Amino acid sequence: MSPYYRTEVILSLGKSAAEVVAAFAPVPGLYAAAGMLCAIMELTENVIANKREARQLRDRCHTLLQAAKESSAVENAMMNDAFEMIQDTLAKVKDKMEVWVNLGRINSFLQQNQIKEDIKKCHEGITDCLTHFQVISHTEIHHWQEEFAANSTLDHQEVVALLSDVKESQNFIQTTTVDNNSMLREMMALLQSALQENKNIADRTHNGLASNLYELQQISDNLLPNMNLQSGEVVREGNFPVSGTAAMDIYKGRYLNREDVAIKVVRAVNSNEASKRRFMREVKVWNDLWIKDRGRHILPFYGFCQTDGPFPYMVSPWQSNGTALHFVKKYDAGFIDYRRMFKHIAVGVQVLHDMNIIHGDIKASNIMISPKFEPLLADFGLSRIVEDITGIPFTQSRGVSDSYRWFAPEVCKGQGVLSTRSDVYALGMTILELLTHQQPYHKIKHTTEVVIRREKGELPERPCEPRVQQRGLDDQLWKLLEDCWKTNASERPKIHEVIQRMDWS
């Protein structure tokens, strides 16, 4: 039995295969072409993602044979060459259709645009043949092109509707398994592209696309193919920020209709082409870091957006347990293993430094607590992004003055030098902050005075409260903190040395 066997009668221009054979096979030179048209008719009904375009192509192949039959009654010394050209053209159409039919469901969706281009080339071949019979006109060319455009639009809309069908998502998931990561990525890219087309339609189609895209993303365990979020992937909840800092407003949002996220609006820079280019360069870092860490120590970025207000924003998963400082204040009594927390944070810093990434602004408010109660370093690399976009040193940009208590001395002078060693310094201050539940130099009211005293070599006082000692502050840890705060950056331990000295777990 033919793989393309169907119980219903297949028609082309209202004619069955038997009628096609009866009409054209008797014509000298058209017997083979008639057989190919019958094969094309069968194949057309099995094309998955470009059905209307394929049927139009089938009908135009039929029209070509009709023109050839009518011209065969006229004496023409070139007729044999023309018939051979027709046979060759239909053979190419048949071969192409066999490829399309054998793609399968998912690959047909993924290659819809390529199939469309192949069909256009087949039409051009038919046009060349019709030209030989001098029966083609500009009107005919315009007509097939106009019909083709309409069919292409309807075929694409049908695919989008299937992609947005939540029931269909299980078919996608079963077909695009984790064993075929490349296909998963292509399918995600297709869904995200469809989201872009439907972003202004807050309806079932957009919601279904978003939901199915989220499912595929969870299976692949990857970030989205396009992290420039401009297709409605993220929607703000409310018109006002839920929290923030002097440099950043934080809104709550929904990601692909399935997950709560933090939308971090960076007020230090404006949304423009320069910021877009810089964020696009950062995307590779975000992807590489996700591949290495998988969100164990570093809070991931899901992407960025520049089309939702005057300032760009970055998107990260929402952490309902809040910041590290909020967490230790809330659950201090007997629940928190502070030393384990410090080491986990230090390992996160090491992950960044091993990838030549400087965090630049380590402090408790930039450390989130995961649902597993693990600390996650957040907003890494923001300092370099701000510097690159604005051309202003991060330490002189808007809203960072409240970080000066954590900054190393060299960061507070001149242009400000951010480095892995300044990260180690800030890590030491952050550990002190978490131990005491207070910002560094908490007895000094003004930040400028902190900078002046630190420049004179004055370090924070060692806390002597029993509760701070109970949280883990002993001579060994205090010596490590003092070494992290060395005025000369080169004398500070590297992050792997810091971790080695945290030998309590």
Same domain, 454 and 336: yes
Distance between CA atoms of 41 and 45, rounded to whole angstroms? 7
The DSSP bridge partners found for residue 254 are: 235, 260
Same domain, 148 and 176: no
Contacts of 348 (CB under 8 A, 6+ apart): 293, 297, 298, 375, 376, 377
Paired tokens of 8 = 């219903």
Percent of the chain with pLDDT over 70: 91
Quote the domain boundaries for residue 213. 166-222
Q: What is the pLDDT of residue 99?
A: 97
Question: Could you read off the pLDDT of 442-467 as tens digits, one per residue?
Answer: 999 888 899 898 888 899 999 999 99
Mean pLDDT over residues 484-500, rounded? 96
Same domain, 491 and 459: yes
User: Does residue 6 lie in a domain region?
Assistant: no
Q: What is the pLDDT of residue 461?
A: 93
User: Does residue 294 lie in a domain region?
Assistant: no
Helices (H), 362-494: 382-390, 420-436, 447-455, 466-470, 475-484
Count: domains in the chain: 4
User: Does residue 230 lie in a domain region?
Assistant: no
pLDDT above 50 (res 3): no
Q: What is the pLDDT of residue 48?
A: 93
Distance between CA atoms of 84 and 62, rounded to whole angstroms? 16
Question: Could you read off the pLDDT of 264-321 as tens digits, one per residue?
Answer: 998 878 888 888 888 898 999 999 999 999 999 999 999 999 988 888 999 999 999 9
Distance between CA atoms of 249 and 132, rounded to whole angstroms? 68
Same domain, 385 and 266: no
Q: What is the pLDDT of residue 2?
A: 43
Residue pair 195/257 in contact by the 8 Å Cβ criterion: no
Same domain, 15 and 157: yes
Q: Which residue has the tokens 């883990």?
A: 472
Overall pTM > 0.75: yes
Helices (H), 234-369: 273-293, 324-330, 332-335, 338-354
Greater pLDDT, 268 or 148: 148
Mean pLDDT over residues 239-262, rounded? 89
CATH of the domain at 248: 3.30.200.20
Considering only 360-369, 383-392, 487-496, which range has the smallest mean pLDDT? 383-392
User: Does residue 2 lie in a domain region?
Assistant: no
User: Does residue 293 lie in a domain region?
Assistant: no
Domain boundary among 145, 164, 183: 164
Domain boundary among 115, 148, 164: 164
Mean pLDDT over residues 101-105, rounded? 91
Question: Could you read off the pLDDT of 156-183 as tens digits, one per residue?
Answer: 999 998 888 877 777 777 766 545 778 8
The dihedral region occupied by 347, where left means phi > 0, alpha psi between -120 and 50, and beta the remainder, is alpha
Q: Would you tell me how many other CB atoms lie within 10 Å of the CB of residue 181? A: 14
Distance between CA atoms of 395 and 404, rounded to whole angstroms? 8
Question: Could you read off the pLDDT of 333-358 as tens digits, one per residue?
Answer: 778 999 999 999 999 999 999 999 99
Same domain, 195 and 331: no
Same domain, 334 and 383: yes
Contacts of 361 (CB under 8 A, 6+ apart): 379, 382, 383, 394, 400, 403, 406, 426
Q: What is the pLDDT of residue 475?
A: 95
User: Does residue 4 lie in a domain region?
Assistant: no
Same domain, 414 and 333: yes
User: Does residue 475 lie in a domain region?
Assistant: yes
